[in-house]
Amino acid sequence: MSGFLVSESSLPPLHETLARLDTQIAEKGLERGEVLDVAALSRATALAQDDVRGLLDGGAAREEGVGDRIRGRVRALYEAYLAESGRRPADVCRDVASGLGISDKWARSLLSGDKMPNVPDLTRLAEFFHIEPGTKFFTDPAPVVLNGALQGVLRELEGGLEDGPLLRFTIKHGVVTLALRGRQLTPRKQEALALMLEGLLSGEETER
């Protein structure tokens, strides 16, 4: 998970973000479903794919209490981490228990969404999963979390990432954002970076 969220007060409304994205997608002749990849956004936001799909289509957020929201996102992060890392649940629970200073049993209950983490535990869980926005990632409403994730995509489309090798790379691999931090790369440099990233991913798949 990368740190893509910004404060809620500095974000435009989600419908405005989506309208700007649709404009960029149309101008570049791209497919909306490829640029706004539901599965990739679901992984990045710890939101259910149905919730992401509904919000992208302009629907309202599903009603849920803050407690359910927090437990659901902790569980989603844990499940995604297991799938991506290939580690055993027992080993992950042990690491989390050590980092939080709790028992393995309690860590397992937190990660499975059965128990509600307190604020210090939630802060350490954000650190464990490398969630830069911290506890806001778990507590913010779904539209805010998705809106934050979409800002990186919008920056790349509006900031000069043309329909070139980098944009095609992000679409192909379901990358939400490359987080180039405003740097303008020449087409030659984009091609070189895309080739390097392709090589890294190919090597990783071979090692598994």
* CA–CA gap between residue 87 and residue 140 (Å, rounded): 29
Please name the residue that has the structure tokens 């509600």: 116
Place of tokens 């506890």: 135
Instruction: Compute the Cα dihedral for 133, 43, 76, 46 and give only its sign.
Output: positive
Q: Structural domain of residue 46, as residue ranges?
A: 8-61+141-207
> What integer pLDDT is reported at residue 6 of this predicted model?
40
* Percent residues over pLDDT 70 in the chain: 72
pTM for the model stands at 0.71
Do both 145 and 177 map to the same domain? Answer: yes
pLDDT tens digits, 28-81: 888 898 889 999 899 889 999 999 999 999 999 988 899 999 999 999 999 999
Percentage with pLDDT > 90 across the chain: 54
> Are 73 and 169 found together in one domain?
no
Write out pLDDT tens, residues 6-19.
444 578 899 999 99
CA gap 138, 126 in Å, rounded: 9
Residues 72, 113, single domain; the answer is yes
Q: What is the pLDDT of residue 5?
A: 40
Among 158, 155, 156, 154, CA closest to 190:
156
The band of 3, judged by pLDDT with boundaries at 50, 70 and 90, is very low
Q: What is the mean pLDDT of residues 85-92?
A: 95
For residue 175, being part of any structural domain is answered with yes
Amino acid at position 10, single letter = S
> Is residue 22 situated within a structural domain?
yes
- Are 17 and 39 in a shared domain? yes
- Domain for residue 1, yes or no? no
Distance CA 110, CA 120 (A): 13
Which tokens go with 140? Answer: 């913010």
Q: Provide the CATH number for the domain around residue 134.
A: 1.10.260
